[in-house]
Amino acid sequence: MLSGTEPIHDSGDPLATVHEFWQWAYSNLWDDPIRGAFAEFVVARCLGVPPKVPVVGVIEPWRSYDFETASGVKVEVKSSSSQQAWETKRPGRIRFSISKTQPMKEGYGPETERVLHADVYVLCELKADSHSFDCDDLAQWQFFDLAEWKFHVVPRRWMEVRLGKRDQTSLAPSTLEAENFGPWSWKQLESAVQRCS
| Mean pLDDT split into 10-residue runs, the chain, 197 residues | 89 92 85 88 90 53 82 93 64 78 61 80 80 50 82 93 71 92 94 91
Q: Which helix (H) or strand (E) holds 18?
A: helix 18-26
Give the strand pairing for 149-155 and 120-126.
antiparallel
**pLDDT of 122:** 97
pTM: 0.81
C-alpha to C-alpha distance for 94 and 48, rounded to whole angstroms: 27
Amino acid identity at 29: L
Task: Give residue limits of the domains in the chain.
Answer: 31-196
